[in-house]
Structure formats: C-alpha cells, structure tokens
Structure 1
Amino acid sequence: MASGGLVDRIAAEFGVHFISHTRRSEGRHQSKARRTCQTLLKKHGPEHLRLVFGLINTGENRGNWSAPCFTSVSWLVLSKPDWVERRGFLDQFDKIDLRALLDVAKQLNPAAPTLTMSVLLSYELDKGMGAGSQRRAA
C-alpha cells in the first residue's frame, strides 16, 4: 500500500486532513505536514505515527499539526520511550503548550527551530516528570 493513502487514513482517525502548503490553514483540523508524516510513517511505522498524532491531539495541544511539532514529538518518543510508559506522562505532556514552545524555539534559533523545539520539549518534560518523582520520593 502506498504510504500516501495510509498517512491520510491515520490523520483522519484524529480528525485531521492535509492541505496544500500553499493554502492558509482554516482551522485546527488542517495540517500542511503531510510530507513530514509520510517520512515518519516510512521510517517508524504506523503505530509510531498514531502515537505522535495522539500526543499532539491531547486537550490543550489539539491543532498543533505543524511539521516541527510532529518531528519534535516523534523525536521525544524515540529518544525517551521509558517516559511514554510512565504513569502521568500524558498529563505532564498536555501541560506543555506546543505552540508557545515552537514560538520560543523560532526566537532562540531561527535557523533550526525543530531541533531547538525538540530540546525544549525534552527539557520541559524532564522538569515535569522529575518534579512528580521527587514528590513521590518525599
């Protein structure tokens, strides 16, 4: 099966459809990151892509369907798989405003906002996950 059809079906599972990069997004259900999602699908498979969509689709972050967000969340899942399995991870993840994090990343490093966002996301989650384990230890 061509990855184009599968990536569209996975996106549809989350109420997202892809639009041309030349069009202006008209809502939280549209994304221009089809090519990025196809790359993630080819490299890491459909379950990984579904996990990334699911994380971005949490209550506070729904609608952040940009390529840097997909790539950063994918990188986090791949580099910190033990975090994803931790209790409370989803709650901690949802406390992070991905749009604000991307804006900060663009200001800090306009030449590489995706990489910067990945580091900031990891840092923010580390802070949040670490605080939770410190409270339990006390």
Structure 2
Amino acid sequence: MASGAVVDRIASEFGVHFVSSAKRVEGRHQSKARKTCLALLKKHGAEHLRLVFGLINTPVNRGNWSAPVLSAVSWVVVNQLGIVARKDFVTSFDRLDLGALHARAKNINPEALTITLAVLLSYELDQSVQSGLSEEAA
C-alpha cells in the first residue's frame, strides 16, 4: 500500500522536503509536488519513484522538483524503454538541463505543460544519446 510516509521517506533519501502548496519554495531542497509523487508511487512503485528522484538529483538539475518535471521524467522512464535500457542512459540524461526544458515548455504550451515537457525531454534525450553514439564512433 502506497502511503505518504513512503513518499516522504523516498524524498528524504534525496534531501527533498515537501512544503505546503500555499508556501513558497525557498530552496533547491524543497518541493510542493507531494501529491504528484504519491500518484507516481501508487501507479509505478517505490523503485520507479527513486529512479525519477535520482535522475533529477544532479548538480545541474537538483531543485527541479515541480509536478510537471517529476511527471515528465516519469513518463520518459515508462515510455522510452529503448533509451532507458541503454547503459549510457544516465550519462545522457545528466547532459540535459531540466530547468531550461521546463522554461521552453512553458513558452511553447503552458496549458499542457507536462506533456509538452515530456515531448521535449524525449527529443532532447534522444539527441543526447545520438551525440553520445557519434562521439563513440569518432
């Protein structure tokens, strides 16, 4: 049974603390997306949620704990199995700037932010994998 305590425990493993949606996020260690994380936990399980947190928890991307980012990263993990299964997936993912992609998605289609971000993330991840293949071949 998925519970809020499990979500809180997983978030704390990555140094993330949830704040009320009425409160302003004051640092790279806070998130308002507890309900989103609970939904991801219920739908995909604890290991999936840990993977999503781990992918976001990089020096460049730490602090992108918003619901659209968490949901988009989760969508990519679930729907891009060919890329996720690659041994260089984490390295390719680390090349991405989630904050910049989130800003682009807001400019492109703020009404469908999560799906727009997921599409941009998939595209950029595919490009990152392809550039990694090009570097290996050279």
Q: Same fold (TM over 0.5)?
A: yes
- Is contact 1:92-1:125 (8 Å) kept? yes
Map residues 1-138 of structure 1 onto 2, 5 A cutoff: 3-137=3-137
Distance 1:79 1:93 in 2: 15
Letter in 2 for 1:14: F
Moved more, 123-132 or 45-54: 123-132
Question: What does the per-residue CA deviation read over 1:34-77, in whole Å, with 9 as the maximum and x for residues that have no partner?
Answer: 00000000000000000000000022111110000100000000
Percent identical residues: 62
Aligned residues: 138
Q: Distance in 2 between matches of 1:125 and 1:16?
A: 25
Distance 2:30 2:135 in 1: 39
What's the Cα RMSD here? 1.3
Does the 8 Å CA contact 2:28/2:62 hold for their aligned counterparts?
A: yes
Q: Partner of 1:59: helix, strand, or coil?
A: coil
Q: Which amino acid aligns with 2:8?
A: D
| CA–CA separation in structure 2 for the residues paired with 1:119 and 1:44 | 20
Distance 2:135 2:27 in 1: 39
Q: Is the 8 A contact 1:59 1:94 kept in 2?
A: no
Gaps spanning 5+ residues in structure 2: where? Answer: none
Contact 2:2 2:38 in 1 (8 A): no
One-letter code aligned to 2:52: V
Preserved CA contact (<8 Å) 1:7 1:37: yes
Question: Is contact 2:92–2:132 with CA below 8 Å preserved after alignment?
Answer: no
What amino acid is the match of 1:62?
R
SS state at 2:110 partner:
coil
How far apart, in 1, do the equivalents of 2:60 and 2:81 lie? Answer: 22
Asked whether the 8 Å contact 2:2–2:41 carries over to 1, the reply is: no
Contact 2:41-2:49 within 8 A present in 1 as well: yes
Q: Distance in 2 between matches of 1:38 and 1:63?
A: 18
SS at match of 1:112: helix
